[in-house]
Copies of this chain bind each other. A is one copy, B any other.
Amino acid sequence: MNDGKPPEHDLAALQRRLADFAAVRDWGQYHTPKNLASALSVEAGELLEIFQWMTPEASGTVMDEVETAERVEDEIADVLAYLLQLCTVLKIDPAAALAAKIDRNERRFPVPLHRAAQ
């Protein structure tokens, strides 16, 4: 099941597109895990930059203006791109890693009984 999303929006398909994109341009030589982790950090900074002077309230309306909305989507895409490329190179399944992390966090931060009953 994939919630009706186009198959080409599934992570494995995106990883293949990214790998093909780099391979056919011979960019793989730059894609050491170290460089990919650096690039991911740089893009995370570009995403944060959009919000750096905003109040918390203003940050909530960032998708209301076409220009900032496109900027945010562009940086989200860049962060995800390097995350996926790093996972491809290191043979990590990012969704499985996150599912396992949420499992661990649910044990580390149990819900108080009065809330669980709601």
The chain A residues found within 8 Å of chain B, CB to CB, are: 1-3, 5, 7-14, 17-18, 21, 24-26, 30, 32-35, 37-57, 59-60, 62-63, 72-74, 76-81, 83-84, 86-87, 89-102, 105-106, 109, 111, 115-116, 118
Contact = CB atoms under 8 A, between A and B. Distances in A.
A78 B79 CA distance: 13
Contacts of A34: 51, 54, 56, 59
A26 B118 CA distance: 13
B95 A73 contact: no
B77 A52 contact: no
Nearest to A63: B90
Contact of A94 (B13, B41, B45, B80): B80
Contact of A76 (B21, B51, B94): B94
Contacts of A109: 25
